[in-house]
Chain A
Amino acid sequence: MVRTRIIPTLLLRNESLVKTVKFGKFSYIGDPCNAVRIFNELEVDELVFLDILASPRGTEPNYKLLRDIADECFMPMGYGGGIKTAEQAHKIFSIGFEKVFLNTSIVNNPNLIEQISTAYGSQATAVSIDVKKNIFGNYKVVTCGGRKRTALDPVIWAKEAEKMGAGEILLTAVDCEGTWQGMDCDLISKVSSAVNIPVIAQGGAGNIGDIGEGIDRGGASAVALGSMVVFQKQGMGVLVNFPDKKLIEVELGKH
Chain B
Amino acid sequence: MITIVDYGLGNLGSIKNMFNRLGIPSLITSDIDQISSASKILLPGVGSFDNAMSRINHGSLRKVLDLKALEECIPIMGICLGMQLLTNGSEEGSLPGLGWVPSKAVRIPAQQGLKVPHMGWNKVLPTSRSKLTENLPNNARFYFVHSYCVKVEHTKYSILKTNHGIDFDAAIQNNNIFGVQFHPEKSHKFGMQILQTFADI
Contacts and interface: CB of A to CB of B under 8 A. Distances in A.
Contacts of A2: 118-122, 164
Contact of A75 (B13, B119, B145, B188): B188
A96 B117 contact: no
Interface residues of A, number: 23
A157 to B, nearest CB: 21
Contact of A96 (B13, B115, B120): B13
Dominant secondary structure of chain A at its interface with chain B:
loop
A108 interface: no
Interface string A84-103: 00000000011110100000
A123 B119 contact: yes
Nearest to A124: B145
B145 A123 contact: yes
Given A96-B14, A98-B145, A74 B121 contact: no
B185 interface: yes
A212 to B, nearest CB: 19
B186 interface: yes
A70 interface: yes
A149 interface: no
Contacts of B120: 2-3, 5, 45
A94 B11 contact: yes
Given A3-B121, A93-B11, A75 B187 contact: yes
A16 interface: no
B154 to A, nearest CB: 27
A70 B16 CA distance: 12
Interface string B171-196: 00000000000010111110110000
A115 interface: no
Contacts, number: 60
A160 interface: no
Contacts of B122: 1-3
B148 interface: no
A71 B185 CA distance: 11
Interface string A104-125: 0000000000000000010100
Interface in A52-87: 70-76
B186 to A, nearest CB: 5
Contacts of B119: 2, 123
A40 interface: yes
B21 interface: yes
A74 B13 contact: no
Nearest to B123: A3
A70 B13 CA distance: 9
Contacts of B185: 74
A43 interface: yes
B112 to A, nearest CB: 11
A98 B186 contact: yes
A74 B21 contact: yes
B118 A74 contact: no
A75 B186 contact: yes
B54 interface: no
B17 interface: yes
A2 B11 CA distance: 24
Interface of A: 1-3, 5, 40, 43, 45-46, 70-76, 93-96, 98, 121, 123, 198
8 contacts: A2-B122, A3-B122, A43-B189, A70-B14, A74-B192, A75-B187, A98-B145, A123-B117
